[in-house]
């Protein structure tokens, strides 16, 4: 993985999310009367029900949710891979469980927001990170995922920690873009929570790598 290219690409994504909010004043947000079907995670602290559903949002909020959903989905998939393996250090398994427990509910939350905003739950093809490999927001390529799937024991643990660190760095960049350009208070709050939690996990993963 070209780390310099990854950094530039994730920065570009963060800028795109931030710029999506430019020119989208309070009057441009979409208001609906539906109910948020997502269950907010503990870190998101996002209210459920009509209060969230009726909240205004802008293009940056929409892009953030649409792009973070596949990003989180891959993190859950990577965590599931580790949880299915044998001979993985207990602390690495515990980290995988923690990542899955945090991000799976956030996927539901963001999906619920998009539906309540009458927005597509998937980004337009030009922004779909799931098909663009490692350059897009720290996403792993198909080859990366195959390598993780095939690895075992300590090798798998090291690869997971290395890949997830890059994955988290991409998520933080996207979250920062939402903090700058987002309008919806709940979405901005989730972005801040993601950035804070994943920054701590990056340090945790670095510490774990040093012990393997």
> Residue 124 has what pLDDT?
74
Spelled out in words, what is the top-level CATH class assigned to the domain 3-10+48-211? mainly alpha
> Residue 33 has what pLDDT?
32
C-alpha to C-alpha distance for 169 and 182, rounded to whole angstroms: 19
Secondary structure in 3-state letters for the chain: CCHHHHHHHHHHHHHHHHHHCCCCCHHHCCCCCCCCCCCCCCCCCCCCCHHHHCCCCCHHHHHHHHHHHHHHHHHHHHHHHHHCCCCCCHHHHHHHHHHHHHHHHHHHHHHHHHHHCCCCCCCCHHHCHHHCHHHCCCCCCHHHHHHHHHCCHHHHHHHHHHHHHHHHHHHHHHHHHHHHHCCCHHHHHHHHHHHHHHHHHHHHHHHHHHHC
> Residue 17 has what pLDDT?
60
If you average pLDDT over every residue of the chain, what do you get? 81
> Residue 170 has what pLDDT?
97
**80-126, pLDDT tens digit by residue?**
999 999 999 999 999 999 999 999 999 999 999 999 999 999 987 65
For the chain, the straight-line distance linking the first and the last C-alpha, in angstroms and rounded, comes to 21
Q: Which residues of the chain have pLDDT under 70?
A: 1-55, 125-136
Q: What are the backbone dihedrals phi and psi of residue 117, each rounded to the nearest 5 degrees, phi first?
A: -85, 0
> Residue 123 has what pLDDT?
83
User: CB within 8 A of 173, min separation 6: which ones?
Assistant: 10, 11, 13, 14, 137, 138
Within its chain, how far is the Cα of 167 from the centroid? 8
> Residue 39 has what pLDDT?
34
> Residue 168 has what pLDDT?
98
> Residue 137 has what pLDDT?
80
Query: What value, to the nearest 5°, has the Cα angle with vertex 174 and ends 99 and 73?
Result: 40
Within its chain, how far is the Cα of 145 from the centroid? 17
């Amino acid at each position: 993985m070209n780390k310099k290219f990854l950094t530039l690409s994730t920065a570009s994504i963060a800028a795109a999310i931030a710029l999506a909010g430019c020119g989208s004043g309070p009057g441009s947000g979409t208001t609906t009367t539906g109910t948020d079907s997502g269950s907010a995670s503990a870190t998101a602290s996002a209210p459920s029900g009509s209060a969230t559903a009726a909240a205004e949002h802008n293009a940056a909020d929409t892009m953030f949710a649409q792009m973070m959903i596949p990003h989180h989905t891959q993190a859950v998939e990577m965590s599931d891979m580790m949880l299915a393996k044998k001979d993985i250090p207990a602390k690495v398994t515990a980290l995988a469980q923690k990542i899955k427990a945090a991000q799976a509910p956030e996927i539901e939350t963001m999906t619920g927001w998009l539906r309540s905003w009458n927005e597509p739950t998937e980004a337009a093809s030009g922004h779909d990170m799931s098909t663009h490999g490692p350059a897009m927001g720290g996403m792993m390529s198909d080859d990366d995922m195959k390598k993780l799937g095939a690895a075992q024991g300590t090798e798998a643990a090291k690869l997971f920690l290395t890949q997830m660190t890059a994955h988290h760095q991409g998520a933080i960049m996207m979250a920062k873009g939402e903090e700058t350009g987002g309008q919806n208070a709940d979405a901005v709050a989730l972005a801040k929570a993601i950035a804070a939690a994943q920054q701590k996990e990056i340090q945790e993963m670095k510490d774990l790598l040093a012990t393997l």
